[in-house]
Structure 1
Amino acid sequence: MKAKQLFIIMIAALFALIFVHLGFSVSLGIISEIKNLDSSLALASRTIAFVVEDDLKEIDRIVLASPDGSASKSFLPKGADPMELDQDKVRLSDPLPKHGNWYVLSGETITGALIFARRAPEGYPAAFIQYRPDLSWADYLLPDIKDAELRIVGSDGSLLWGTGQPVLISGEHSPLNKPGTSGGIWRPVYTRKVDIGPGGLILELIFPAMPFVYSALSRLPWTLGVELLLIMGLLAAWIVFSRYLLDPLERVTRLSLQMQDRLFTSTSPADLAEGVSKLAGGIRDLTRNSRLSEVKVFCQTLSSALQGYVFQQEKIMDSGKELEKANRALSEANRDLLRRDEIWRKILEVSRSVTIESGFQKGLERVALILAEMAGAYGVVIGRIEGGNMVALAWSGFDGMLEIRSAPLDSSIIGRALDSGAPVWTENVHSDPSYCQLNRRIKSELNIPMFHIGKAVGGLSIAWDQVRSEDRALVELVMPVALHVAGLLNTQASLLDLKNSYKYMAGRLQNLTAIYHDETAAHLERMEHYCRFLSVAMSRSLVEVEDVALFSRLHDIGKLKVPMEILSKPGGLNHAEFEIVKHHTEWGAEILGDASWLQMGRNICLYHHEKWDGNGYPEGLSGENIPWEARIVALADAYDALRSPRSYKPPYSHLEAVRIILQGDQRLKPEHFDPLLLDLFRKFHHRMAEIYETIGDEVQDTTAKLMS
């Protein structure tokens, strides 16, 4: 509930109390007058009753003392006179309770006096006394009220005697209703009754009530004046209180509600500060217009507090702007870091795949795809330097269409980048005469030279199909990737050189081994093709396929340490000789050395005579404990040995060789080979035959080959 409403309710309650007080004042005045009258009437009625009763006792005593039943007037009380009446014509009332010898005559025939009749004893006449009570002495006891009446009535309520012109009283026994009275007009009256001895008689004092009402109402103007003064004082207090206190508070309330609405609808601290500032301005206006010092102090304090809040809010807003700016910078830096982290994570995954699983070409294509996604580019090309040209080695995008695969270094943008050793951003490629068009949709291009240990190895080109201004952040993001790709290119080139050198060495070693036993170059080449085919059938990776094909040529290099007389013996070997030959597996591994990249070659040399059932040598390995590459070489070597002529046997046909491998003979058993390889051989043995037929043995002079 608002303060103004509460104050209105309080004022209304005070008005109600004033009117109730006014009513009570009038009522209490009337009641006070009636109480005063009642006290006067009580005293008067008791006094009159005492006098009348005493007069009646005196009359009775005098009459009884008169022997003839008469009484001398001089002895009777004032107002009592003897009468002579015809008792036969007079209707007597009932006997009086205390004086059974006296009777009261009916008031219908006689007025103005109280008539008593006494039944005389036998032989005496009856006595009649008329009695008019003398009440002149009692005027000072009665209130000065017009139309007052004194009555004496019987116990049945019948009027026996009365004075003056009575007021109009409703009642069955009232003589005021008799003909001749001014009846029909009702006026309220006040009646006081008291018993008169001896017994049965009642004295009534009757007064009109309106004079008392008028007397009470005569005080009403003074009361109304006081009440009106009180009401005017309340109205004045209401005007002052409302104008100088309630109205300012109501304005403060409205301003506060407006600020509350602003708080709920504010979308920024600036809106909030503006709302509070407006509220403070409104309160300052109240301070200027208010005349109450307390209201001024309150409004000034509140306005100062709000202004202080606005000042603090503005400082917070300024700090918030700086913090927001710093947060944006941190967010951008964080996004860049996350972006770089994501790119490097993907690049590292690709790097592992390049060197281990999917092959070098696929790995570079994956790197190009990642860079294109990261840069939002139309396409990316990774090139390698070959002679005087930059040759596209891997690429992604360009809608699948790369128009040229090679660009001359002396007349291209990538060549200019290599010469300067720094990235070149071309915002509009068609304005550069040295641009070599990779795709006709390209508009902008970034060319980054790639160096490894100071050596130029290639270039990275990122192209967009829309004009794009230079982005230094992007260049900084891509540069580490380009450096990493340069390392991959250099490593791949070095690996190719190493493998080519190894192939050359392997070729020279196989010619050397031909001096000690009857292995030919054709046999070693077939071994390479057998092993490549079988490893592909086993779903080995491309790197593993190439490595097992390469190292299979050196499976018997350890025979260089076997004495020539044992290797060239035309017949079968005895037990001691065979034990010496068996050591060629270990000697082959020793010859290759401990280089980690030659681990597959050592496994082939050491374990290609192990058997699946564990009956092989040199360690008697079985099952999956035998390296997979050694299991492949074992099957390939067995098949080629069966098909080739030896000093101790003729060559077998393909079908005979297949039967011996799958069913066994005195020397070979199916249990010697990997069951998976046997299944593959059973399905694809014709491919083995094609390899043998394609690469046949030729009679060569191995000594002449060594000399050539």
Structure 2
Amino acid sequence: MVTLDSFRRRLLAASLLLVAVFSSLFLLWRRDLARGEREQALERRLALMGRDVLQTVDFHRRLLQGMSHVGFDARAFDGLSPSLCPFLVRTDVEGRIAESYRGPLGRGARLPLDLLSTPLAATSLLDERGRPLVVLAHPVGTEGWVVAGFSPSALFSRQDRLRQGEWALLLSPEGRVLVSMGEASLFPFGATMPTELLLSPRSTRTWLGVLQHFLVLPLPGEDFFVAVGYPESLIWQEALDRGLAAGGAVALGALSVLILIFPLFSSVLTSLTSLSTSLVEAEGTLTRAPDPVEAMEILRELGRRELPLARFAEFQAIEVSFGRLLEAVAREGEELAGLYEEASAMEEELSDSNRRLTRAMDRLGALLDLSRETQSAGDLDGAADGVARELGRLFGSPFTAIVALRSGEPFIWSWAGRPELREELVDSLRVASPGGLFSRFSVASRQGLKFFQFPVRTLRRLVGGVVVVLPAEGDEEGLRETMEPFLSHLAGLLHSRAMFVEVKEAYHDVSIRMQVFTQAYHEETGAHLGRIGDYALLFGSELGLSDDYLSDLRAFSQLHDVGKLRVPQAILSKPSALTEEEFEIVKGHTLWGAEILGDSPWFSMARDICLGHHERWCGGGYPRGLSGEAIPLAARIVSLCDVYDALRSRRSYKPPFSHERALRIILEGDGRVEPDYFDPRLLEILRRRGDDLARLFESRPDETPQE
């Protein structure tokens, strides 16, 4: 049998062990916390460094691209410090230097072709001091390359983002170190990292005998990587610095408290054991007694016992209070037993009412939160979709819909749930007037469902309605109680949409009036502008764009050449080929169009079209040289529509072409127009719907008959 003294010694030993374990766990926890904090900070630094590298490379690449298009001019680099761009040459197609503007290599020296064909490379052969340079080459047509060498500090322009002991690398696709910052001695220029490291965004491995943590980020759109990391020793150092003192202090404090209170343990333990035994007996009496009266008698006997408690004043008071408590419980037991059944019934009723009230409050709270979000939402359609979904979720509805008015006619603005119920509502809207459909609240039952219609008004004017479908056993009372205070908030959403549509239609009307100036100034007729809108609508519908987007696209596509109002008519109507200077003037119509439209957000799509309808999918267009998805979708659509209609139409410099010839030029190319100028998705639509474009062209003939 274990004596109290031996138990006390074991307890002391266990306490010391717990203190030691706690201190160790605290230190490990501090280590993990330090690692997590460092890796979170490194992830942010890695993202910022990646952005710096992309911005720097993109800037210099665009600069070289610009020089390759307009003629090479080394003065464009005069603003760059020689320390950031110490090497700049132009080579022929075989890599021999034709002109040397900066750097140690003169005319006639030959650069390796693999250095020129690599998107981004590094070498120490091009710097006078033998330092590594980052090399960027861009082809100049078929004549050769423009080659620039940049200091690594131009890519990692903010090295202060690294803390002591950390490092950062720029790696080629093969894992070769192009730029090394921080602890450069660990990863010297030219060293090769394992390729499996590049495929893992987060990894740990031993490098030069030291355990290192790596974070790797592939740069989007580029074939190289940015990596940051730190040695494991830094984590232990931080954990020891921050955690050892705190953990030791807590452990010593806990140990001191244990030593001080340990002598009182024996007497208190004995008293508590006795008191616990009495309480267990009282609990057993109350739970096992056949009826409350008998239980009360047993409690009275238990209250008269003398408990072997320690001779502390507090325990003496506990003993007296315990006896009085049991006596009081016994006296009140009879009355409590009589009220038990009544209280149980009332509790059940109150619980049921509370559940219903809580559910109703939760629904109303969720809808009010949603209504506040809809009032501040920039996307009205998205806000309406959120309301419809939330109504369905809150009431378990198989179908909910928000009905708005367009020119006085009702239509389904947003819905959620079963498609067949939507079709049924569409049929109802076709045959019902707005006033008849939502003149008042109504309920209809069919096919085991209840259809609730709530009218939505603002300033006593009907602006729409809400339809909620519930199962036949659904909570109709809860639905009406929740919806009534919510309808005023929904009225604001419907009113905002009506105002939005009214403003947008006003801008569409302005765009139509601006088209009159365009067609009156140069040879692009009103029929041409109308056809551009028809073509754009066809392509946009095939892409599955929203009705609002298609409405804007049709109206604003006809403003694509509004900037030609600032091009002299002598140039626009010139029957022969334009000179280079004249063509540069014509190219300015893209920028002038955006300037004429101004900075109103309602004209944002129109500005995109003006600026981008002469860009090319493969790059090389004007005015910004964009390519691929960087060109706004509306501009890509109008670009193809404009080329097709220009080929079909009579111009001062060409006769009209047939539909078949126009398609052959666009889809196969003729030297002036090539298929890679256009979005491949739009070309596929053109192949499938070409006959429809021909019919649209014939439906709006130009005033001058075609040959």
Task: Name the TM tier (shorter chain).
Answer: 0.3 to 0.5
Greater Rg, structure 1 or structure 2? Answer: 1
TM-score, structure 2 length as denominator?
0.46
What TM-score do you get using the length of structure 1 for normalisation?
A: 0.46
